[in-house]
Amino acid sequence: MPLPKYHQVYLVLREQLHEGMFSQGLPGELALMEQFSVARVTVRRALAQLAQEGLISREPGRGTRSLVQRRVQQMDAAAHKTQQARLTGLLENLVSMGLRTTVKVLSVQRLLAPHDVAMALQMEDGELAQKAQRVRYTNEGPLSHITTWVPERIARSFGRKELAQKPILMLLEESGVKVGRAQQSISAKLADANMAQHLDIAVGSALLAVNRLIYDIDDKPIQWLHGLYRPDRYEYQMQLSRVGSIDAKVWVSKELSANFH
């Protein structure tokens, strides 16, 4: 049974609040009605639930404001949940996936990276980066929405045209970088109106959210990626092997791969 519309709106707004959005206040009821294509009563019920949970404050004449403090250094917190991937496993598989799918480049920009991304990439103050946003497709339709950040000193040799033709890992190596390893975290996220349009799904649909940091063979970070994947078309596989005695019950990752269908 599908979730009630008010609950879908509530879930998306709750997630956005926890991500630190709406620092200047939430959109008004009319804007939310238009964004989610719902009636005013639906928006009000979702906001009432958020207020009941202490996530927002609604004051007549002053609008609706967030009571959620954005977590600082999200990449550092996520680092405790990461897995390292070998080039012969996940990264090689990702290149193969890139060659077997098509991509639409939405935008390529040259700008300062957000603080958490700049910290992850160990960028100098004022150093520019290339931000690229793409949607990847299989024969079934849209598979994922990908945002990548690469320091400009590395990304100078490729742009929109090249990103539309080759996987970014191949472009990095063609630019002289020797890719070494990847560190990533996987979680869940709900689709907002913008992402729902890109991935041809309903607002509030569940997505797999991937944060991935790529290093070169000298263990220097060279690319930060945030990907949102349709779980009906993407799966992530791990093979585990036991370490130590049977009583220890410790398992470590042996191979990592990402597949689409």
Within 8 A by CB and 6+ apart from 226, the residues are: 146, 147, 209, 210, 211, 212
Which of 185, 226, 204 has its CA nearest to residue 14?
204
CATH number of the structural domain 75-260: 3.40.1410.10
- The predicted model gives 144-158 an average pLDDT of 94
* CATH node for 5-66: 1.10.10.10
Residue 250 binned pLDDT confidence (cut-offs 50, 70, 90): low
Interatomic CA distance for residues 117 and 103, integer angstroms: 24
Residues 6+ apart with CB under 8 A from 10: 45, 46, 49, 50
pTM across the whole model: 0.67
For position 243, what pLDDT does the model report?
61
CA-to-CA distance for 78 and 74, rounded, in angstroms?
6
Give SS3 for 249.
coil
Provide the pLDDT for residue 246: 53
Enumerate the domain spans of the chain.
Answer: 5-66, 75-260
* pLDDT in the model for residue 81: 41
**Span 116-148, pLDDT tens digits:** 999 999 998 889 999 999 999 988 889 999 999
Tell me the mean pLDDT in the region 194-217. Answer: 92
Find where tokens 């897995």 sit: 83
The predicted pLDDT at position 72 comes to: 34
pLDDT tens-digit readout, 42-94: 999 999 989 888 889 888 777 888 887 543 334 344 444 443 434 444 555 56
The arithmetic mean of pLDDT across residues 244-256, rounded, is 52
